[in-house]
Amino acid sequence: MPPRGHTGSLSRRMMLIAFAWIFILLLAGGVALDRTLSSLVTRNFDEQLEYMLTAMVASAEIGPGGEVFFSRPLGDQRFLEPNSGLYWQIAGKGHDDFPSRSLWDRTLKVQAAGHMNPVVYDSFEFVGEPLRVMQRPIILPDSDTVWWFTVAASRGELDVQIARIRSILVYSFAILGVGLVLMAAMQTWLGLSPLRGVRRAIQRIRVSGAARVDEPLPLEVQPMVDELNALLAHSERQAEEARTHAGNLAHALKTPLTVVNNAAAAHAPDLDAVVQRETAVMRRQVDHHLARARAVGRRASGQARAEVRASAEGVERAVARLYPKVRFDIGGAHHVVVAVERQDLDELLGNLIENAAKYGGGSVFVTLDARPQAEQCEIWIEDDGAGIAENERARIFDRGVRLDTNKPGTGLGLAIVRDVAEIYGGSVTLHESEDLGGLLARLRLPRPA
């Protein structure tokens, strides 16, 4: 079955990006290099024409009849061969043209310019023979005529050189492009190999039951593997907590069920009372474990946020209706937020504040930690009651333990507070209150990251 919800192949995406950039860069580089080399070859060709034109001007003189002639012949033999591809011509207004023998019966057209500098251009005036032409107007000594010195050469040799350069460039850039594509493919394959290693490691975890990924991996992939290992450890802890809770609940229900079963089997006369009593015990145990399960589930969401003062004030109003003669005082910071769900925070504070009101002497102080730099928020719940002996403070957190049996209760309140606080990474400890003389419950809860 094909995978669903993916965004395409990462390898294909990387290869397409690499191909596009290689193509663009090679194309741009090839065009730039082609223009540069073609310009260099053309400039060298034009320099040869300019050298010939300079030699013509240096050798030209005016005869007795006002006609121009060369005092010494030009050195290139091609000027004497008809249609050789190399030509010169001198033209002046009112005078016959003075052409090279290589022109035979043809004439070069003069493109008059408004300045005395050499002019170079391409000409197609000869059918089948494109020319590269350079001409320059000159006024010779002992003459008032503007003479146009023109030298032309067939572009065939120039075009052949440019075509050869372009052919070399095409083959070279094609080989370079293939090499770069293969290198990009190899780089993509080798670069993504750690991800394939992670996939194989996860497969081994699923098949063999391994607990984590232990393979050494590159620095860029290791943080992802660390998060994966942390997730596996978190899931393992949750599964272990679920097994522990299930075992604890089964053990807690086993004794009441045995008592009810024995009473029913013996046809006990007080069977109704036994059932009611043991049912209440079982219900308290179920409520306790359900509270733990809800806290574990909400903690797993990772988005828990609750404002402590708002929760404390809400709990204070509810408890005040049960204990109207108790004086409550909430102090400390006003904007303290903890990484706990509001419902769980209410249950934590509710148990502690209600215990303080129930077993205290009439005063309950709640103080919120005002140190924003601390990693955990600290909440103090103090009362002015008799307190708890130091050797009994650890035992009071056990399920079902009650030191004062004269007042109603289940003995599960502090156990729930301890368990829920620990689920969120916090803690609760009992001390003696220095201000009120009774019990001080110090609740520590983590702040949001």
How far apart are the C-alpha atoms of 407 and 379, rounded to whole Å?
Answer: 26
Residue 336: closest CA among 347, 349, 353, 352: 349
How far apart are the C-alpha atoms of 332 and 443, rounded to whole Å?
Answer: 14
Complete DSSP assignment for 269-290? TTHHHHHHHHHHHHHHHHHHHH
How far apart are the C-alpha atoms of 366 and 314, rounded to whole Å?
Answer: 13
Rg (CA), the chain: 50
Q: What angle do CA 371, 372, 373 make, to 5 degrees?
A: 95
How far apart are the C-alpha atoms of 212 and 166, rounded to whole Å?
Answer: 58
What CATH code is assigned to 301-446?
3.30.565.10
pLDDT for position 173: 93
* E strand residue ranges, 140-207: 146-154
Q: Which residues of 12-47 are buried (b: 16+ CB within 10 A; e: fewer)?
A: eebbeebeeebeeeeeeebeeebeebbeebbeebbe
Going by their DSSP bridges, the two strands 98-99 and 86-92 should be labelled as antiparallel
Record: fold of 25-161: Beta-Lactamase (3.30.450)
pLDDT for position 423: 82
Q: Where do the structural domains in the chain lie, given as residue ranges?
A: 25-161, 222-298, 301-446
pLDDT for position 224: 82
pLDDT for position 41: 94
| Contact call for residues 379 and 445 (beta carbons, < 8 A) | yes
CA dihedral 9, 13, 19, 24 (to 10 degrees): 160
Q: How many helices (H) and strands (E) does the chain have?
A: 8, 14
Tokens of 120: 């170079």
How far apart are the C-alpha atoms of 431 and 393, rounded to whole Å?
Answer: 8
Tokens 């572009």 label which residue?
Answer: 155
pLDDT for position 393: 78
Spans of the chain below 70 pLDDT: 1-7, 112-115, 209, 244-252, 284-285, 287-303, 370-373, 398-413
Tokens of 169: 């460039």
pLDDT for position 296: 60
Q: What is the largest CA-CA distance in the chain?
A: 161
Query: 0.85 exceeded by the pTM?
Result: no
> Each residue of 96-127: pLDDT tens digit?
888 999 998 898 988 766 667 888 999 998 98
Q: Which residues of 263-292 are buried (b: 16+ CB within 10 A; e: fewer)?
A: beeeeeeeeeebbeebeebbebbeebbebb
Positive/negative CA dihedral, 383, 387, 393, 397: negative
Other C-beta atoms lying within 10 Å of the C-beta of residue 396: 19
Going by their DSSP bridges, the two strands 306-307 and 337-338 should be labelled as antiparallel
pLDDT for position 401: 46
- H helical segments located in 3-155: 10-59
Q: Which residues pair with 123 in a beta bridge?
A: 131
How far apart are the C-alpha atoms of 210 and 232, rounded to whole Å?
Answer: 10
> Each residue of 377-386: pLDDT tens digit?
899 999 998 8
